Structure 1
């Protein structure tokens, strides 16, 4: 049996037959039955059907089963080092350094394994995302961009950033070396940013199947969730919108004036908020570009449908792969997208509702007005700023400086403190309710052990969860009512 289960690659684990009921080839996934039996790849130890792991690979004079993925030579991808317990792609780095773009593209598109397990040089490997972030799961998605999916996650290694945003880029979706260089540009942009309204880059790593970008995250999640809270609690939407517009405008101004960067994909999914909604940040620089020439530069038309500026829409309508524009024009294109965000926050509907780009451009040319049932209770000051941001002409469109001095922002943005106060009160109540579900039990001193908080020889300090003062105790024989009183006391002490 030991000989039958011998694997070619040291350190690889032989998968148990009961661990799966379907072929582990991502493109097959055929269910096993009496007609389709299980077979192990002798290189990776995973379980496949006969077609996905045929007996074709020769090793020491014997034909062994090898899956399609393992047929790709290991020198072209990351290799597991059993001595260090880590993966390494130094050999692949060396080989790719001698190849031009066309050759690397040909390699990427030669087979699915080459595409899905492409080695991205310069970034540390983990076996899977859960190895670095054990709390990661698919249900924590907060947004989906052009180049990847963003998740909210807990980081147990970083005290200063306990909650982070993970942008997961699936390697199989990146088809060319040019696309990979675009991702590297995004990372270079994020490394160079330091502003309170722009999320910081904290870490980058990769797994065999994806590249993961770890960013600063607002504990409040995506903008849409914060908007739902404000709307359902009957808070002032104008105050909330003014705070969002003011801070995002400051972030865009910093990117353009200081770093010469345009974001090109401002939308709800790319805006996150802090836990109390006081701080707003921009995330996801997958489409961002450096302004190399302020007066004239070629840009690819891009953006999210419904949020893209008239400049990008016109380029698509004219079937242009590239269009010429100045840095100022593209910066104001970001301001237009911010205007779309503001329009939707105040009215709950999109300003552009066409199903095709031609229809969108027709709507933009006619001019966007803040009219309709959703605008009945919105002030004229708010309407004027939104319409200014959504001007068709670039030269007439509002800039961050205009936003900063607009009466709507000056009068409404400072009032965010009322929403922050209400949010904090609800968070406190939520934590109190969660605290009531826990029972804090301390061993009785009659058992021979000092109870938690009692004097311990040689220990003059208390390291209790809720502060340095001796914590309250709840003995094993306490009544339910007493336990509840103790829990409430603990909560009050925590927030004292």
Structure 2
């Protein structure tokens, strides 16, 4: 199950190299155990309307750079999949028992596995990597994952590498995506939003201190570790992350336009040097969605969307905002600031009165109804019309200094 909050057709990927290679790797996506209860499985299948049909076609067509379309019900790795199991290096199968296929994409597979000695569950992501540049792209993501060790950031247990394959052993997140938790719980107040945002801000503060820019922060990449109410929220998917190696902010990798369109910061669209402030802008978009169920920048085409972002054109109009506190709106305003130098840092968000007070001065009204209504209204209307430049599979490159659209 996934909540795709956007009008575009997927990620804006970095420009492919001269050899036609580009980053094809995500970190962990949502891994779920198979539900034994038939009613729960039925509810999971009914959640299709939060994933855009166009995204599914794109995933199946190999447009996605990572695991791609989620497999909601696990597929047991039995004799029909013996050929797939045979792809695993003996070193991997000697240490882990492969249980089920839980995610797939054109260039990767994700399985649920169990450590043979400790019986601890993990997710193993198999990446098909060919060519020197493919290995280099994978090493970039690995470089980030190997450095991080924080409760609110996905953890990499170990790595197995062969000439053409890389196996990432990651912690298994089974608690669902952020918006799934919001919709399923029945009640959602500002205090609940601050709890989630404090965990995300804590993870971002840690990443930014390490010089890591996520560059694709969105609700789908925020997963709960387990279904319990006390679960930690973890930041996942470092397929587009960038690790600053120096203070040279004009490095091309920091100028590259990549990410998910609705969450792109204005400086990225303007092709200006970027910093960790792009993650804070995305956090502002996420906060807006958390409190209203709608996007701050919601247009019928990608060009209109980008113009709205560049102007900073958003508002707090509508019924869903009448019960939201001034402090919460101020928190969003401090993040959706056009000037990245004036935008709150992750450290500053953790010191903001709204988070510090855990919304104690805010209304205790349940926002769940309006949030769910807005999400369902958007789902019923379906994806908006697309201009040719936002057709499924199109990507954007800015290395040459101009925005170019081309089919993947």
Is the TM-score greater than 0.5?
yes
Q: Distance in 2 between matches of 1:253 and 1:194?
A: 13
- 1:359 aligns to what? 304
- 2:98 aligns to what? 134
- 2:343 aligns to what? 397
| Alignment of 1:283 onto 2:236 | yes
| Alignment of 1:330 onto 2:330 | no
| Alignment of 1:234 onto 2:180 | no
Q: Distance in 2 between matches of 1:201 and 1:128?
A: 15
**Alignment partner of 1:217 out of 167, 172, 176:** 172
| Alignment of 1:308 onto 2:269 | no
Normalised TM-score (structure 2): 0.58
Deviates more, 1:290-299 or 1:395-404: 290-299
Following superposition, the deviation at residue 342 of structure 1 comes to 1.5
Following superposition, the deviation at residue 387 of structure 1 comes to 2.3
**Alignment partner of 2:140 out of 185, 195, 201:** 185
Counting only pairs closer than 5 Å after superposition, residues 13-24 of structure 1 correspond to structure 2 as: none
CA contact (8 A) 1:261 1:290 kept: yes
Following superposition, the deviation at residue 302 of structure 1 comes to 0.6
Normalised TM-score (structure 1): 0.49
Q: Distance in 2 between matches of 1:342 and 1:377?
A: 15
Following superposition, the deviation at residue 125 of structure 1 comes to 1.7
Structure 2 unaligned runs (5+)? 1-16, 22-86, 362-408
CA contact (8 A) 1:129 1:207 kept: no
Change (3 A) 1:414 1:294: farther
CA contact (8 A) 2:113 2:124 kept: no
Counting matched residue pairs gives 275
- 2:328 aligns to what? 382
Q: Secondary structure at the match of 1:202?
A: strand
**Alignment partner of 1:342 out of 287, 298, 303:** 287
Following superposition, the deviation at residue 202 of structure 1 comes to 0.7
Change (3 A) 1:128 1:218: closer
- 2:197 aligns to what? 245
Following superposition, the deviation at residue 391 of structure 1 comes to 1.4
- 1:419 aligns to what? none
Q: Deviations over 1:352-371 (max 9, x none)?
A: 22344431232121432233
Counting only pairs closer than 5 Å after superposition, residues 81-230 of structure 1 correspond to structure 2 as: 125-126=89-90, 132-138=96-102, 153-157=112-116, 159=118, 162-171=120-129, 177-205=132-160, 211-230=166-185
CA contact (8 A) 2:95 2:115 kept: no
Q: Deviations over 1:190-247 (max 9, x none)?
A: 11111111111112236898543222233413223222223xx2242x2222122212
Structure 1 unaligned runs (5+)? 1-100, 106-122, 316-323, 416-496
CA contact (8 A) 2:108 2:127 kept: yes
Determine which structure has greater relative contact order: mean sequence separation of CA pairs < 8 Å that are 6+ residues apart, divided by chain length: 2
Q: Distance in 2 between matches of 1:347 and 1:389?
A: 16
Q: Distance in 2 between matches of 1:133 and 1:224?
A: 32
The alignment yields a C-alpha RMSD, in angstroms, of 3.7
Q: Secondary structure at the match of 2:158?
A: strand
